[in-house]
Amino acid sequence: MWGASALAMGMIATFPGMAFAQEGKTADDLSSHGAAQRIAQTGVSSKAKNVILFIGDGMGDSEITVARDYLKGASGSFDGLDAIGQPDALSADGETGTGQYTTYSLGSNSSNRGVVTPVTDSAASGSGWATGTKTYNNAVSVDVSQNPQMNLIELAKANGLATGNVTTAEIQDATPAVLESHSTQRSCYGPQGKTDGTMNNAAKNCDAAQLKENGGIGSISEQLLDTRADVTIGGGSKYFKQTAQAGEYAGKTLWEQAAARGFQTASNDVDAFSNLSYKKGKPVLALLSDGNMPTQYNMTPALSQKATEARGAVTCSTNSAWLGNKNSSGNSASLADMATKAVDLLSAQVSDKSSNTSGFFLQIEGASIDKQDHAANACGQIGETDDLDKAISATVASLKASGQLDDTLIIVTADHAHTSQIVSDAPAYALSTILKSPVDGSTIVVSYGTATSTDAGADDSSVGYTAGGMEHTGTQLRIAASGPGARRVTGLTDQTDNFYTIAKALGLAADTSEQKALSDSSKVSVTIDDSDKATASVTGFDGDAVLSYSLKDGAGKVVASSETTSRAASIDGVSGVRVRTGQTTPIDLGSVDTGTSYTLTVSGKQSGRTESAAFDASSQDGQVKPGADKSGEDQSGNREVAVASVADQKNAAGLLGSTGSAVMALVTGVAMLAIVAGVVFAARRGMFRR
């Protein structure tokens, strides 16, 4: 018998194309950057100027079908959702691709990391396409070892692209968060946790090591301001009422920080949102609701079999609170409105030649398909799918009108599947809703059967199912694309492959070695103000998300350090200083003693790049750099006492200040005495640089 089986397997192996099957990898083998790719060797056929990624949160095949059957009829099609990936739908000769991708994660939570987990959450799945690295559920763009991984917005900014992040959820929610932050817990919304600022529950919602008061990189909202995407639109405005607990903005609310850092802001104001326009160097932050944005359709709760049959077929009605309704000024904020506003703002930035941006990357999420599926709300999930479809359609029309469609890769997919199913009759074991399509008159029975609560308020407590706790499912998902590079999504891929598809289409640093090289132009300088407070200004660490630093005096004693500052460094990856990609990252070194020599060492935690700058804390006036620096903050009155960059490591003699540099330029033509004189002069001015 065994001989016959072996013979059969041998015969199968001889047929062409039969060697494609392979065994799955272990969690250890899957946990490194890019290790979960299914098509690692596949390139893109052409490059894109822009990429727009549409995410339907919880939008599995069943959710798409439920919405299509109700809104368009069983034989109908969506104008936007079904057009992407369809040959000839957008253009006669445009590139298209459709496929399925796998969504598993590597752990059910932070206490169960590094285990292949068939059902993902939005944080782990979003981290997969945002960074190319598999991780555990609840993790936001960190790996299973809780080390931050470079995400698409950071990499796009490093490559000179404009960036945007749009959602109907709270902007701190998992899917938008993976592009604006790195967090060991998705619940770490702000410096005071997950509150409106009237209390502090950070201890419950954040790992202590990540909090700024413990020397960490800060909460999701704080990091959003550091990431500084050019356009950020969504909900969650109440969390920006929280107050910073430490750092340079201690005591200020997040809204106050945003204003101080040059953001254009709109809070719960559709008219202000509608009036936003591109202004160079002033990114947009528009948060239009306290929490998640109101849904398009009213609630239709799923009921037990008897109650469902007694209620009969229902039709969906528009929610009066939905921001897609025109207000008295004629303005609205549907997902289509937000999407086209983002495209207009980013396109204006690209058109501004002085902005030095060559294209854009934009993520747009229809977030509440998932949230309404969790609530077993059929009409809710249908309305949110419709909202996403209209956003896709409006975006395509906008790109076509501006002549950008052929240069833009559009990808439509989801983060995970969900629980709703279309069945023939309301089952006895689950909650259901019966719908009647207004298009073809068909009866659609939508069933939900993944909740297991025995809540006393359950619709059928004898079976133990309640509305409100439906769960994700682990099935593979549809992914479709149109535009340059679209064919790469064809067939079976993984969520992490989506990162590489986008990165390759835009020419971003995708592999670890490429990302590390982004920090090759790193530079560190130190200034001391009139009160002898030292501040390091760090630039060029674009291959890093987090920096560590150490300041030692001439005797080698550590007087300031990111490591000693942290009182909870058990999670080292999120301890340190959050990099402000493409900007100047300040590091507060505290007070220094006049007449003492110091050496500052700054290291990138992702690249391993290290820069050192030696300086003397002199009481004499030094070089003054007035006005605002790249971070938009006033540096008037500070004297720069040291600079270190990649060039320093190639020049054993070090660098002098502006006067000293002029002296060094004459070295080959002057005597040693002149060199000494120049050095003495520079020393008196306090302008040595190393």
| Binding site, annotated residues | 57, 173, 175, 365, 370, 374, 415-416, 472
* 631 is known as an active-site residue: no
Residue that the structure tokens 């079999």 belong to = 305
Q: Pull the structure tokens for residue 151.
A: 């995400």
Q: Which amino acid is at 457?
A: G
Beta-carbon contacts of residue 423 (< 8 Å; ≥ 6 apart): 432, 445, 446, 447
Distance separating alpha carbons of residues 639 and 618, to the nearest angstrom: 10
Q: Is the dihedral of CA 559, 226, 157, 527 positive or negative?
A: negative
Residue ranges at the known binding site for Mg(2+): 57, 173, 175, 365
Distance separating alpha carbons of residues 196 and 215, to the nearest angstrom: 23
Among the options 31, 105, 122, 525, which is catalytic?
122
Pairing state of beta strands 477-482 and 408-414?
A: antiparallel
Nearest to 568 by CA among 202, 212, 223, 219: 212
Per-position DSSP letters for 123-171, written without gaps between them: HHHHHHHHHS----TT-BSB-TT--B---HHHHHHHTT-EEEEEEEEET
Distance separating alpha carbons of residues 523 and 690, to the nearest angstrom: 11
Beta-carbon contacts of residue 353 (< 8 Å; ≥ 6 apart): none
CA angle 657–661–664, rounded 5-degree value: 140
Kindly report the number of other CB atoms within 10 A of residue 602's CB atom. Answer: 27
Q: Which amino acid is at 485?
A: G
Pairing state of beta strands 231-235 and 264-267?
A: unpaired
Q: Pull the structure tokens for residue 319.
A: 């929610």
Pairing state of beta strands 523-528 and 477-482?
A: unpaired
Q: What is the DSSP letter of 433?
A: E
Q: Is the dihedral of CA 559, 560, 566, 570 positive or negative?
A: negative
Residue that the structure tokens 């220094």 belong to = 592
Nearest to 544 by CA among 194, 58, 23, 149: 149
Distance separating alpha carbons of residues 64 and 87, to the nearest angstrom: 19
Distance separating alpha carbons of residues 271 and 32, to the nearest angstrom: 45
Across-strand partners of 531? none
Q: Which amino acid is at 211?
A: L
User: 61-71 and 378-401 are packed helices; what angle lies between their axes, rounded to 10 degrees?
Assistant: 90
Q: Among the residues of 356-449, which ranges form H helices? A: 368-374, 378-401
Distance separating alpha carbons of residues 154 and 358, to the nearest angstrom: 15
Per-position DSSP letters for 245-311, written without gaps between them: -SSTTTT-BHHHHHHHTT-EEEES-HHHHHT----TT--EEEE-SSSSPPPSB---B-B-HHHHHHH
Distance separating alpha carbons of residues 380 and 337, to the nearest angstrom: 19
Residue ranges at the known binding site for Zn(2+): 57, 370, 374, 415-416, 472
Distance separating alpha carbons of residues 675 and 654, to the nearest angstrom: 14
Element (H, E) at 447: strand 443-448
Nearest to 384 by CA among 447, 432, 323: 323
Our measurement of the distance from residue 43's CA atom to the centroid of its chain's CA atoms, rounded to an integer in Å, reads 24
Active site residues: 122
